């Protein structure tokens, strides 16, 4: 009889553990990235990508500059690591479905990436070019181009100076855009997909079984 009571007690404890809520794993945010395909050579900063499929992703350096990397789809090979600066998305600005915007260079000119728009972000990323290439793109596209000194290396990305090269081949100081104010995201309330009534019923049954077991044990011990 004592073995039966012990078994009831252990079973009650095991059932109680079984219905206890499990801890919820915390979600981790992914690095901003986009997969794209180019059918012709494409300039991204100081690098020229050959036709193929790539992944572009961003890694922050500080508040007003980023490192943009281009890798293969498996992210095992890095083909380009270049500087970029935030491009605030304006209310009237249309972000293309492919998330990439190119300079409108003329026929015979090598294609060049202007801006990449990561998903779920308030900023795009304007690609920065070595000054000699920025001058070529600005003249061909009739548009300003972000530039850094030709001799700047990846190790200099945090401190090197920026200029804006104009179609008239002039270089102007870069002025960082004002920060975009974004409302703090509030986690949405979880939908009430399950009632707590079954849990309360199970707890009531457990207490009832436990009470009976204690009562029987008291009688046998008297």
> Higher pLDDT residue, 127 or 121?
127
Give me the phi and psi of 191, to 5 degrees please.
Answer: -65, 145
pLDDT, tens digit, 9 for 90 and up, residues 160-172: 999 999 999 999 9
203 domain-assigned: no
20 domain-assigned: no
42 domain-assigned: yes
Q: Which of 18-32, 141-155, 197-211 has the lowest mean pLDDT?
A: 18-32
Question: What is the span of the domain harbouring residue 58?
Answer: 33-173
107 domain-assigned: yes
Give bridge partners of residue 56 from the DSSP assignment.
34, 70
In this predicted structure, the answer to whether residue 174 has a pLDDT above a threshold of 70 is: yes
> Higher pLDDT residue, 61 or 46?
46
pLDDT, tens digit, 9 for 90 and up, residues 64-98: 789 999 999 999 999 999 999 999 888 888 898 99
221 domain-assigned: no
Band (pLDDT 50/70/90 cuts) for residue 34 is: very high
155 domain-assigned: yes
pLDDT, tens digit, 9 for 90 and up, residues 135-146: 999 999 999 999
Q: How many distinct structural domains can be found in the chain?
A: 1
146 domain-assigned: yes
27 domain-assigned: no
In this predicted structure, the answer to whether residue 16 has a pLDDT above a threshold of 50 is: no
């Amino acid at each position: 009889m004592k073995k039966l009571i012990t078994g009831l007690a252990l079973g009650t404890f095991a059932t109680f553990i079984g219905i206890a809520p499990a801890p919820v794993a915390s979600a981790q945010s992914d690095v901003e990235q986009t997969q794209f395909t180019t059918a012709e050579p494409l300039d991204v900063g100081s690098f020229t990508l050959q036709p193929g499929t790539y992944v572009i992703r961003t890694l922050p350096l500080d508040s007003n500059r980023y490192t943009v990397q281009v890798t293969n789809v498996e992210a095992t090979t890095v083909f380009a690591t270049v500087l970029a600066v935030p491009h605030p998305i304006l209310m009237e600005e249309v972000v293309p479905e492919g998330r990439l915007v190119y300079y409108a260079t003329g026929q015979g000119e090598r294609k060049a990436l202007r801006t990449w728009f990561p998903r779920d972000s308030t900023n795009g990323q304007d690609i920065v070019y070595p000054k000699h290439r920025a001058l070529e793109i600005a003249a061909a596209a009739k548009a300003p181009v972000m530039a850094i000194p030709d001799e700047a290396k990846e190790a200099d990305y945090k401190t090197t100076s920026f200029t804006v090269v104009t179609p008239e081949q002039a270089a102007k100081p870069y002025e960082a855009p004002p920060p975009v104010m974004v409302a703090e995201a509030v986690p949405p309330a979880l939908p009430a997909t399950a009632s707590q009534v079954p849990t309360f019923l199970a707890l009531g049954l457990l207490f009832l079984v436990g009470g009976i077991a204690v009562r029987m044990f008291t009688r046998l011990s008297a």
